[in-house]
Amino acid sequence: MSEIKPSPESLVTYHRDGHVGFLTLNRPEKRNALHTKLWNALDEALELAENDHEARVFVLGGAGPSFCAGLDLSAENELLALAGAPAGAGQKVALFHEVKRLQAIHTRLDRLNRPTIAWIQRHCLGGGLELALCCDILLCSEDTVFAMPEAR
C-alpha cells in the first residue's frame, strides 16, 4: 500500500493504521481552506484509499485546529482566478468545467465502497461542509461550527 506521509508539502495525507485508512487535509495554517491544489491532492489520496484493500473504513479529518474553513479566498486559489477572468462564453464554459471536475472529487468521496467517517473539529464551512456531508458518519467536537456562508 502506498502512503502520502505527512510533510509540509503534502496538502492531503493518506495512511492506514490497522484496517482504518486516514485521509487528512493538511493546510493547518489556512484552516485547511480548499483550493485547486488541495482538491487535486485529495483526489490522489482518494485513489490510494480506493486501492487500499486492507482498509475497512476511512476517516477524513483536518490537521490543526479546524476541519475545513471552506473555499480559500486568497489569490493563490486558481479557481478564483478563473472566476475573475474577463467575462465571456469561454470563461463561463471553463469555469463550469472546473467546478464540475472539482464536484467529481466530492462524488468520488461520496461513493467510496467502504464506510467513511468525517472527524470534524471547530470549523466546517462551505466546501468543507460539502466534503463532510459526502461521508457516511460525522463525528464532531463540541465547539464545531457548521455553516454554508455562500448561501447568505
Question: Which sequence spans correspond to the domains of the chain?
Answer: 12-151
Name the residue among 18, 19, 20, 25 with its Cα closest to residue 4.
25
SS3 88: coil
> Count of residues for the chain?
152
Average pLDDT of span 18-46: 97
For β-strands 116-120 and 137-140, DSSP reports them as parallel
- Is residue 130 among the annotated active site residues? yes
Q: Per mean pLDDT, which range of 41-55, 94-108, 112-126, 129-143 is the poorest? A: 94-108
Out of 3.40.50.300, 3.90.550.10, 3.30.360.10, 3.90.226.10, select the CATH number for domain 12-151.
3.90.226.10
What is the pLDDT confidence band of residue 75, given thresholds at 50, 70 and 90?
confident
Are 83 and 89 spatial neighbours (Cβ–Cβ below 8 Å)? no
SS3 128: helix
Are 129 and 147 spatial neighbours (Cβ–Cβ below 8 Å)? yes
Choose the catalytic residue: 44, 78, 130, 142: 130
Average pLDDT of span 51-78: 94
Query: What per-residue confidence (pLDDT) applies to 98?
Result: 86
Are 94 and 79 spatial neighbours (Cβ–Cβ below 8 Å)? no
The pLDDT tens digits of the residues spanning 84-114 come to 667 778 778 888 888 899 999 999 999 999 9
Question: What is this structure's pTM?
Answer: 0.89
**Residue 3 in this model has a pLDDT that exceeds 70:** no
